[in-house]
Amino acid sequence: MAQDTDQQASGGVLPVDGEGFVIDTEDCEARETAYRERGTSRPITVVGNPVLHKECKEVTAFDDDLAKLVDDMFASQRTAQGVGLAANQIGVDLKVFVYDCMDDEGVRHVGVVCNPVLRELPADRRRLDDSGEGCLSVPTAYAPLARPDYAEVSGQDEKGNPIKVRGGGYFARCLQHETDHLYGYLYIDRLSKRERRDALRQMEEGTPRYPVVPND
């Protein structure tokens, strides 16, 4: 099993469960550490930066450059103490997100998704959860936002293998939030005008705890 762990720690293939979803809860500490120690932390783009407000490009090359990007994303996520990070949040126009997120049961999930597509849920699986949400690209602001409490995302891992990821509660929120980023949407775009204004005011009044890319 040590060999499996080594392979995973170096960005190998995750095991899958009986329904074909990746098991992203094993060896989280080792896998996250391996990524971030290879990577370099980069500053975070914030609302108003054009890269955050348009759909990112599909990943087509699953090469060393992509592996380096993923490493840098894990490093940046750690510096900013985020639970998820999309590539455009470090200024890269590619459909990739990473996550290091606890679900509502306190179980940690670590993984990478390229070219994510969110599954449209049937009505009987669609239960809204109106917890609070924040975003590293809208520093220091928080707002309640109703989202389904379960999510399934399909895409590819950083090697190009097809994968499916699913989660509930806060982790479901994370999967939806990060997928939104790669299509050019921030969570504040889903708020009412008034709530959005309020979030932007919170951001104006706060000071980010991590390096950000200044807007022109």
Interface contacts to Zn ion, rule CB under 5 A: 135
Q: Which residue, 89 or 156, is less far from Zn ion as judged by CB?
A: 89
Q: Which two tokens stand for residue 171?
A: 């982790």
Q: For the CA atoms of 141, 39, 88, 178, what is the dihedral angle to 10 degrees?
A: -60
Residue 27: what residue type? D
Q: Could you tell me if 51 and 142 are in contact, meaning their C-beta atoms sit under 8 angstroms apart?
A: no
Q: Which two tokens stand for residue 85?
A: 């990070």
Catalytic pick from 55, 178, 204, 205?
Answer: 178
Please state the closest distance from residue 48 (CB atom) to Zn ion, in A. 14
Please state the closest distance from residue 52 (CB atom) to Zn ion, in A. 9
Is residue 178 annotated as a catalytic residue, yes or no? yes
Residue 146: what residue type? A
In terms of DSSP bridges, do strands 128-129 and 132-134 run parallel, antiparallel, or are they unpaired?
unpaired
Q: Which residue, 47 or 59, is less far from Zn ion as judged by CB?
A: 47
Rounded to 5 degrees, φ, ψ at 44 are -95, 135
Q: Which residue, 135 or 153, is less far from Zn ion as judged by CB?
A: 135
> Nearest residue to Zn ion, using CB?
135
Is there a binding annotation on residue 177?
Answer: yes
- Would you give the DSSP letter of residue 57? B
Is there a binding annotation on residue 101?
Answer: no
Please state the closest distance from residue 134 (CB atom) to Zn ion, in A. 8
* Dihedral of alpha carbons 103, 105, 110, 112, sign: negative
Please state the closest distance from residue 53 (CB atom) to Zn ion, in A. 13
Q: Which residue, 114 or 135, is less far from Zn ion as judged by CB?
A: 135
Is there a binding annotation on residue 181?
Answer: yes
Annotation: binding site for Fe cation: 135, 177, 181
Residues annotated as catalytic are: 178
Binding site per annotation, positions: 135, 177, 181
